[in-house]
Structures are given as structure tokens and as C-alpha cells.
Structure 1
Amino acid sequence: TETEREREREREREGERERERERERERERERERDREREREREREREREREREREREKERERERERDRERERREKERERERERERDREREKERERQRERDFDFYNPLFNKTSH
């Protein structure tokens, strides 16, 4: 009968609407999975940026240690140079004393 056919068509339309709602729910689940994957990629990018910041800090600490080593080495070299200068000055002073003794017989200790 016409009423039965009308009810059948209504059931089909309702079934189609339900399938469409299910497809929409699936599309929303997929969009949520996409958003979650994007959030995870962003977290990974942030972790990588943080690792890079740490590597840069470590490189800077290493450069600072190198500069400090170099500074200490230069200071040690300057100190060695000052010590050599003091030794040369002592030697010159001893030489002046020897020359004085040698060229000044009155003060020459060995002539007495």
C-alpha cells in the first residue's frame, strides 16, 4: 500500500541520514587525529629547539673554557717572560759587579 511504501521510503531516508551522521562523526574523528598529530609535531619541534638551545649553550661554555685556557696560558707566558727578564737583569748586575771589580783595582778583592 501507499502508506507502507511511504514508511519504507522514510526508513530509507532515516537510514541515509544516520549513515551521513556516521560519516560526519568519522570526519570529525579524523580531523581530531590530524589536530593531535599536528600538536605532537609542534611538541617535537619545540623539543628540538630546546635541544638546539642546549647544544648552543654547551658550545658557548666550551668557547668560554677555551678563552679562559688561552688567557691563563698567556698569563703564564707573561710570567715566564718576566722571570727571564729578572734573570737577565740579575745577570747584568753580576756582570757590572765583575766589570767594576776588574776595572777598579782599588776595589778589586783579589788584589789585596
Structure 2
Amino acid sequence: MKKVIASLIAGLFATSVFAQAPAAPAAPVAKAEAKEMKAVAKADAKEAKADAKADAKVEKAHAEAKSDVAVANADATKSKAKAHSKAKKAKAEAKADKAVDNAEAKKDAAMK
């Protein structure tokens, strides 16, 4: 029984020695890992901010393009309506001139 107890006690001492040995160098490694993780997080945040900024620029350009298209369409519609109005006026003038010419022709024919 004494041998069993002695081997258990020796085992406890041995495990405590091995359990404590790597603890000392682990602290600087953990610190370095924490620093690295912090740097990675900072870089990720910076990249996300740059991406958001670029997306905002794209959205702004897209909105401006849509606005420009809407203005161009409105101008085209206005120009088309104006041209249509001018064509109607020209057609009415031509019809009036034709009526005057016909009236003058009838008058000349009646005079002869």
C-alpha cells in the first residue's frame, strides 16, 4: 500500500511540474496573439469603412445618373411637344393658305 501511495504522490508532483512549465512562455505568446488579433480587427474595420465609402460613392453616382436621365427625358418630351405644336401651326397655316388660294381661284374664275 505504501508503494501505491508513494507512486500517486510522485505522479501528482510530476504532473504539477509539467503543468507549470509551459505556463511561463505562454504569456508572451498570448500577448502577441492578442496584438495580432487587434491589428487584424483594426484592418478589417478600415477595409469595411473603405468599402462602405466606395459603395456610397457608387450609389451617389447611380442616383445622379438616374436624375440626369429623368431630366433628359423631360427635356425630350418638352421638345417633342414643342415640335408637335409647331407642326400643327404650320399645318394650320398651310390649310389657311390653301383656303385663301382656293377662294382667290374661285374669285378669278367667277370674274372671267
User: TM-score normalised to the size of structure 1?
Assistant: 0.74
**In 2: Cα distance, 1:36 partner to 1:25 partner:** 16
| CA displacement 1:65-104 (0-9 Å, x = unmatched) | 1111111111111111111101101101111210121112
- Corresponding residue to 2:94 among 69, 88, 95: 88
**In 1: Cα distance, 2:60 partner to 2:110 partner:** 74
- Corresponding residue to 2:78 among 72, 75, 79: 72
Q: In the TM superposition, what are the counterparts of 1:21-32 in structure 2 within 5 Å? A: 21-32=27-38
**In 1: Cα distance, 2:76 partner to 2:25 partner:** 76
User: TM-score normalised to the size of structure 2?
Assistant: 0.74
**In 2: Cα distance, 1:104 partner to 1:18 partner:** 129
What CA RMSD, in Å, does the superposition of the two structures yield over aligned residues?
2.1
Pair 1:55 & 2:61 matched: yes
**In 1: Cα distance, 2:40 partner to 2:64 partner:** 36
Unaligned runs of 5+ in 2: 1-16
Q: CA deviation at 1:22?
A: 2.0
**In 2: Cα distance, 1:49 partner to 1:18 partner:** 48
- 1:98 is matched with which residue? 104
Which amino acid letter does the alignment assign opposite residue 27 of structure 2?
A: R
| CA displacement 1:17-73 (0-9 Å, x = unmatched) | 444202211211110110111011011111111110110011111111111111111
Which amino acid letter does the alignment assign opposite residue 38 of structure 2?
A: E
The percentage of aligned residue pairs carrying the same residue is: 4
Unaligned runs of 5+ in 1: 1-9
Say how many residue pairs are matched.
94
Which amino acid letter does the alignment assign opposite residue 103 of structure 1?
A: A
